[in-house]
């Protein structure tokens, strides 16, 4: 277990960059904020909770595109989707940015050993698990995509959405999962830390869970009796004021889930939480090995989910929406010696901020075109204000584009294309975003203000 001493002592480090620190860069797939450290009432994630207690937990971290491929390319390049031109999956980053210097590549170019195990750039799950289809070779010295049994794992299996186009497979199996890709990712991460003590490393561990299929040891399913799982409560008329473009943008997986019974929905949530706990167990093993290796004092640990995931909120069961549940995702940064360790940052931050943060903490000069801001000020003073707004975008055939901007008070969404429309939510009075105020003339001043924030763009929203 990572000791509190490693993260709260070392005053000589305060206000300085660690000298050539290791970076343990952990990603989870389709990970919403269902973690104990974020206050989820059912989640059992003791390892990520202890990481959050020893680092800074970012409570309002937003991805720039609520789909895997575009979000990951944006995060790993420090560039927004409008710059990367990657608006969907199955696109390699150098298809649109042949000369980009990615985050792991920056460390590799400066002498770090850069290793990837598992999913970091886009990878179809489960279809391309075990392949390097959309990976970026210049980012790594070593890149391994472990194969995994996925839904073919022997065990108690079920497709919750049987008969629908979208599958929601679950498998509860005996043992720890030696045939799972995430097991191999954990082993590679531990081996990398143990075998390369004489050279700094950037270890990117990309876990597939909790992405469907929800495959996990039966003991994790047993933690969540279906009868104890509450279902999200949505007003009967919740979708009456949702623009048509918003309904068309969310892909067919979410719509196909609408026919599930209440028992099916509880089983789906249960399987998701079990997968999260399984992923947390893997993370715990890596964190324990880090401390045992004697390198924790000079290792920055980052944990992030690529985007959120709906579990019935607004009657949705997927990603690709611009609501809070899809656009917001977890971000934990534990850098030894920072003054803010053990606290939560409430300010607005974006995933494009991760690249400049790690570059600064390591004393590296990132590319001049990065479109985020270093989060280092929040690592020392989590209570300070940061950005004025966070931005995200989503696209969908036929020609639909949605752009969202979030401030301390409001969420504003503008839809363009064949069905132009707007949404406005008061995040203070209506935190679950049930009432679209854009069509209410009483809220015209707030609507005009948020239109201006979106039109002014991310540069105008930067922290002072």
Is residue 408 assigned to a domain? no
Q: Which tokens hold the place of 192?
A: 């990398």
Residue 441: exposure state from Cβ atoms within 10 A (0-12, 13-18, ≥19): exposed
- Please tell me the distance from the alpha carbon of residue 289 to that of residue 295, in angstroms, as a whole number: 9
Catalytic residues: 68, 122
Q: Domain range holding 237? A: 4-387
Asked if residues 220 and 133 have their Cβ atoms less than 8 Å apart, the reply is no
**pLDDT tens-digit map of 412-454:** 999 999 999 999 999 999 999 999 999 999 999 999 999 999 9
Alpha-carbon distance of 13 to 193, in angstroms, equals 22
Report the distance separating Cα 338 and Cα 265, nearest Å: 42
Which pLDDT belongs to residue 18? 75
Confidence (pLDDT) at 9? 40
Measured on CA atoms in the order 176, 180, 182, 183, is the torsion positive or negative? positive
Residue 403 lies inside a defined structural domain of this protein: no
Is there a domain that residue 423 lies in?
Answer: no
Residue 439 in any domain: the answer is no
pLDDT tens for residues 321-331? 999 999 999 99
Residue 432 domain-assigned (yes or no): no
Report residue 174's pLDDT band, with 50, 70 and 90 as the boundaries: very high
Residue 16: pLDDT band (50, 70, 90) is low
In the prediction, which pLDDT does 390 show?
A: 98
* Dihedral angle over CA of 218, 220, 223, 229, nearest 10: -100
Examine residue 413 and state whether it is found in any structural domain, yes or no: no
Q: Which of 325, 191, 211, 193 is nearest to 278 (CA)?
A: 211
- Note whether residue 396 is domain-resident: no
Name the token pair of 19. Answer: 């000298």
What number is the average pLDDT over the span 100-108?
98
Could you count the other beta carbons within 10 Å of the beta carbon of residue 89?
Answer: 16
Q: What is the pLDDT of residues 77-99, one digit of tens each?
A: 999 999 999 999 999 999 999 99
Quick check: is 443 in a domain? no
> How far is it, in rounded angstroms, from Cα 343 to Cα 287?
19
Domain total of the chain: 1
> Which CATH number is 312's domain given?
3.40.720.10
Is the whole-model pTM more than 0.85?
Answer: yes
Least confident of 236-240, 280-284, 372-376, 441-445: 236-240
């Amino acid at each position: 277990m990572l000791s509190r001493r490693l993260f709260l002592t070392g005053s000589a480090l305060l206000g300085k960059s660690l000298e050539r620190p290791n970076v343990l860069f952990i990603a989870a797939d389709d990970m919403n904020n269902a973690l104990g450290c974020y206050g989820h009432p059912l989640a059992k994630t003791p390892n990520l909770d202890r990481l959050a207690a020893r680092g800074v937990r970012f409570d309002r971290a937003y991805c720039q595109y609520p789909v895997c491929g575009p979000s990951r390319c944006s995060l790993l390049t420090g560039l927004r989707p409008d710059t990367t031109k990657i608006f969907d999956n199955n696109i390699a980053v150098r298809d649109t940015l042949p000369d980009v210097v990615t985050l792991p590549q920056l460390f590799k170019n400066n002498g770090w050993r850069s290793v990837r195990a598992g999913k970091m750039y886009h990878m179809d799950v489960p279809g391309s698990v075990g392949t390097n289809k959309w990976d970026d070779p210049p980012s790594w010295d070593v890149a391994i995509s472990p194969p995994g049994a996925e839904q073919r794992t022997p065990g108690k299996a079920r497709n919750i959405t049987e008969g629908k186009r979208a599958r929601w497979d679950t498998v509860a199996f005996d043992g720890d999962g030696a045939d799972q890709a995430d097991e191999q990712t954990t082993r590679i991460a531990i081996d990398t830390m143990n075998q390369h003590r004489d050279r700094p490393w950037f270890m990117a561990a990309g876990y597939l869970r909790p992405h469907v299929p929800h495959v996990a040891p039966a003991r994790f399913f047993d933690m969540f009796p279906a009868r104890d799982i509450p279902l999200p409560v949505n007003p009967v008329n919740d979708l009456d004021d949702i623009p048509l473009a918003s309904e068309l943008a969310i892909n067919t997986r979410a719509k196909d889930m609408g026919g599930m019974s209440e028992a099916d929905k509880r089983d789906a949530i249960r399987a998701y939480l079990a997968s999260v706990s399984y992923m947390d167990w893997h993370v715990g093993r890596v964190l324990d090995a880090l401390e045992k290796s004697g390198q924790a004092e000079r290792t920055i640990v980052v944990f992030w989910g690529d985007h959120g995931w709906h579990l019935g909120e607004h009657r949705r069961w997927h990603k690709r929406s611009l609501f809070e549940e899809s656009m917001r995702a977890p971000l934990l940064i534990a850098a030894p010696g920072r003054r803010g360790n053990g606290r939560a940052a409430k300010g607005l931050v974006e995933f494009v901020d991760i690249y400049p943060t790690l570059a600064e903490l390591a004393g590296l000069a990132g590319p001049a075109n990065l479109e985020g801001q270093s989060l280092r000020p929040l690592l020392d003073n989590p209570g300070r204000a940061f950005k004025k707004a966070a931005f995200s975008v989503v696209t969908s055939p036929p020609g639909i584009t949605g752009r969202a901007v979030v401030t301390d008070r409001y969420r504003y969404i503008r839809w363009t294309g064949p069905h132009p429309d707007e949404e406005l939510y008061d995040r203070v009075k209506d935190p679950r975003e049930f009432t679209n105020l854009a069509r209410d003339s009483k809220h015209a001043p707030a609507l005009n203000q948020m239109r201006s924030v979106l039109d002014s763009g991310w540069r105008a929203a930067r922290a002072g």
